[in-house]
Amino acid sequence: MVSRADQFCGSGSRLSRDGCSRGRLLWLKRVCSSGRISHNVRATTSAVGPPSRPHVPLGYSPLMAGHLRLPACCRVMRMPQLGQTIGRRRLFVLSVAAVLSAVAVCGGLIVLALMLPVPADRLSAVLDAVKIGLSVLAGLGGLFGLYLAWRRQRAIETDHDRQERALEQQRTEFETDRKHRENVAAQDAADALSRRITEQYTKAVEQLGAEGAAVRLGGLYALERLAQENPEQRGPVVKLCCAYLRMAYTPPAIGLDEEGQVRVGVQEVLSRHLQPKMSESYWPDTTLNLRGATLYETDFSRCEVETADFRDAKFYGQTNFTRSEFYGANFTGAEFRDRALFDYITCKGRTGFTSAQFAAVGSFVGATLLDANFELAKFQVLADFSDANFLSWGLFTTAHFELANFSQANFEGNCSFRQAEFVNTPLFRGAFFALGPPEEVLDYL
């Protein structure tokens, strides 16, 4: 005997292949809960043979106790869109409740109207009750419509907020990804630039150490171009040029050899980028370390240097620092083999010429020196300090002058010529001493 559930749903293989509809599944659940399947199962087992388990009373559901195995397709109930189903049920219940409330109000008023003793009053009361009921029903309908509109608006706003949040999240993710890609690209570009600069610098240094003068000059100009295009490389290039000039070198007695030409080229590169008037090629805040360097035909006129160290340097040929500006310069022990021009130079810091040797003319016409020290300096031809301004100290202690000219010089601070040696009579015509002339020069005023 086949149960009604099997007749309705078919065999298990067909159920697993075709599946059961939602209505069939609900019907099966109601049948199981009412106990009819358990009665059929009991009848089936009685016809076949004695039951294998105790008698199941009528009304007991073997589905609840696990005695009946449903087909595989009916074991799990799939309920898609559960929230929409619950919402529809709620709306249906509210609708029915509103109608029943209106009917109840209308019916109650009609009953009260029929209880009136006068028939005319009854009819009027019934009509009024119907009107009131209809009004209540209309009001409830209006409220229900407002409720539906509110639900619809809330659903729209909720969906809008969800879309906004999703869009904002997408924007955030896109912005984060964009910044990451930009940072990676910038880092890659910086790494590539650093590698390129390193390669160019290394190649130029190798050229600067080559045998041929032309190759060395090529390396020098490559370094100049590298520093001009990359401001962060200017300091290392200047230091490299100064180191090259500090290398030992003795110029020939006559003319200039290839090494001398390379050195002149290095000096020209430094001078070219130390002139503020050349704004595009000017390298500000430059420090020169040329201690013990061998320089030839040095021309640093109109240059502006932060600090310069020329201690023990040897200057061959004419040296020109005319109208240059230093924030600190040290020429202690320097040797000037030819003319040394420091006309209209400005030193805003300490200027040291201690033990400096001037084999030719040393000209400081119109120079402005904040703190000048010429102790033990030796001027073998002429020391011209006419119109010079000594803003603080002017020390010429134990200096040697073959011929000295201090005409129109201005000494704003202390000055000393103690033990200074004048081979010829010095000139102090029109010189001004703010603190009074020292005793050593009173005989020459």
Pick 146 or 311 by higher pLDDT. Answer: 311
pLDDT band at 30 (very low <50, low <70, confident <90, very high): low
pTM for the structure as a whole = 0.61
Q: What is the pLDDT of residues 257-288, one digit of tens each?
A: 889 999 999 999 999 999 988 778 899 989 99
Per-residue confidence (pLDDT) for residue 133, from 0 to 100? 73
pLDDT of residue 137: 74
Which residues neighbour 373 within 8 Å (Cβ) at sequence distance 6 or greater? 350, 351, 352, 353, 354, 393, 395
Average pLDDT over residues 235-254: 91
Six-digit token string for 336: 């000037």
User: Residue 270: which of 242, 230, 229 has the closest Cα?
Assistant: 242
**Residue 135: predicted pLDDT:** 81
Q: What is the mean pLDDT of the chain?
A: 80
Instruction: Provide the pLDDT for residue 26.
Output: 57
DSSP 8-class letter at 427 = B
What's the CA gap between 212 and 395, in Å, rounded?
A: 47
Q: Per residue in 386-428, pLDDT tens?
A: 999 999 899 999 999 999 999 999 999 999 999 999 999 999 9
Q: What are the pLDDT digits (tens) for 52-106?
A: 444 444 444 444 444 444 444 444 444 444 445 556 676 677 777 777 776 777 6
